[in-house]
Amino acid sequence: MNTDPTRNQSFYDLTDLNSLRQDALKSTGDADASEEALRKAAQQFESIFTQMMLSSMRKANEVLEDKDSPFNSSSVKFYRDMHDQQMSMQLSSEGSLGLADLIVQQLSPNREGYMPGSVLRTGAELQSDRIANGETNKPTQDKPAEVQEKAGGEVRFDDPESFVSQLWDYAKSAAEKIGLNPAVMVAQAALETGWGKHIIARQDGESSFNLFNIKADKRWQGDSASKMTLEFEQGLPVKKQANFRAYDSLKDSINDYVDFLQSNPRYQDALNKTDNPEQYLDALQQAGYATDPNYAEKIKRVLGRGEFQSMLSASVHQGVN
């Protein structure tokens, strides 16, 4: 027996919208109820999207229709639109398009490790999400893993291990200034740039060396690089063109990250919590460093992975030798 209430919904039943509202209010503090309310809202959104798509196709087809046809009358179109609207709700309840599932995966508080590239802060986290989920990226070439940082502005990391190895000494030196574990700094840079694979490029194609995607505001007097990015506003991703700081080297980027935090009063609370990485990251997000609501949690997941800890141990051991 089918007990799914969405199967019996009517497009014109306004009580369904009120039901969604009530479910959202009741789900506060209850993760399971919250996801159930989210799924209902996602299905409602999918049905609206489907109806708009059907409407657009109908309008495109009207150009080819015979105007004198009895099936082209306003009354026929009225009932046809009613049919399309009800069908859109039925298709949504059956998950035909899969849009509702994607929305739930993206917004559900019960899911981890899922973040489509289209809604990332810089569109560059895909590689870091793979590492956070335990999928290490091995070199595809026969030569040893290495990183190249040239004076001409080119930087390349062959794998996550080379990324951590190259940044470790710089991060260690800079982190000492604020009493922060350098691993936190490396993990944040990994998340921001996809382990160095997606560092923002200047207009001429050279690297900006911007490891933390710090924007070039009015206080910045150096070079900048422009990039289309997606920011979260009121929980929704919004595409914007933004200018980001550009540096001469990776070392300059890491040092400026510390200077940026120390010169901005809103990050004072985070700087007071550098002895506790989790509290530091939470305070950093609360201060508005990133608009992604899961920003701090993603960095914590990178920090907690065994593969990342192994990379850190190798870098420390290499530095001792």
Active site amino acids: 231, 256
Give the closest residue to 161 by CA, choosing from 277, 313, 299, 304: 313
What are the Cα distances from residue 265, in Å, to 61, 288, 311? 59, 12, 33
Q: What is the DSSP string of 211-273?
A: SS--B--TT--S-EEEEEEEEEETTEEEEEEEEEE--SSHHHHHHHHHHHHHH-GGGHHHHTT
Three-class secondary structure assignment of 48-72? HHHHHHHHHHHHHHHCCCCCCCHHH
Look at the block and give the residue holding tokens 């991060």. Answer: 171
Residue 45 CA to residue 43 CA, distance in Å, equals 5
What are the Cα distances from residue 177, in Å, to 101, 272, 297, 319? 45, 12, 24, 19
Is the Cβ–Cβ distance between 24 and 41 less than 8 Å?
Answer: yes
Q: How many CB atoms lie within 10 A of CB 293?
A: 12
Residue 75 CA to residue 84 CA, distance in Å, equals 14
Q: Which two tokens stand for residue 132?
A: 């956070």
